[in-house]
Structure 1
Amino acid sequence: MIIRDSIWQKRLDAEVKKFLKKPAIKLNGNKQLLPIAAGVYMFSSEDDTECYYVGKAGDIQGRIFNGHLTRSKRKDRVGNLRDYYYKAPLKNSLLGWSNAGTSEENPECSYEDQAHDLLLNKLNFRWVEIGNSRFRGMFEYYLTSILNAKHSIDKDV
């Protein structure tokens, strides 16, 4: 068992090194920059010194543009605008909303447009396509833990 674990550790470490060497991009609202493919992605600070969030998706483009960049105002059945709780833990965390729907003190962003701008134009974005769902999950968890992602959904409180 120790041999198998060291093989996985070496593979994960090698994949992390390759992942972090990839050039970062700014999303700038351009969907075509991202693949419609399964993989792992990361938001990091502009200077790449801080990891904000690591996630996995069956469709990276869809997850980013239909999840993380979803707006909070939606129309109900009769056409009235109503608040919408995001299906995006990173935006929720930036706004100081916990997964339980309660507010946290000292949020990073004061309002939705500020969080949206941060995600689209300021944070660096990287991704890697990983088709194997088991390895995708392992890689996401490993990357989150070694980079100490600031807005991880399973962060110790």
Structure 2
Amino acid sequence: MNDATARMLIDAARGAAGNAHAPYSRFAVGAALLLTDGSLVTGANVENASYGLSLCAETVAIATASASGRIADVVAIGVIGGAMGEHGRAVGHAPVRPCGRCRQVLNEAAQIGGRDITVICGAAEGDAVEFHRLSDLLPHAFGPADLGIG
């Protein structure tokens, strides 16, 4: 994963975060998936008054890729997040990492696609970026292989 591709993913995630529906937490998250053909799929968090029904940005992006028949094509994901500032935009200079549920959802795509996904964690503002392998963020993951699938 080169720096230009990482920057493209973080920029797309920042754009997606602008579409977050986060009236309760006021914390906007955006995610951008890179697929095998170089195309991008984005997602933003969608909160619900019944908090447990809220969707994370990463899950929205994976569901969108799956709805297009592309869940096996995920190569990398860029994620950003931050408190919603003026005009509803995410602000903050600390990288944001996927929650445990999102790591598990990403693992499903990784195992279906037969590859370890690169996870790029960025800040809502500035240049702070972390690079991770999904397998490092979710070691000994449970997935389709554990059910005898794939």
Q: Using structure 2 for the length normalisation, give the TM-score.
A: 0.29
Instruction: Say which structure is richer in strand.
Output: 2
Q: Using structure 1 for the length normalisation, give the TM-score.
A: 0.28
Q: Which has the higher contact order (CA 8 A, sep 6+)?
A: 1
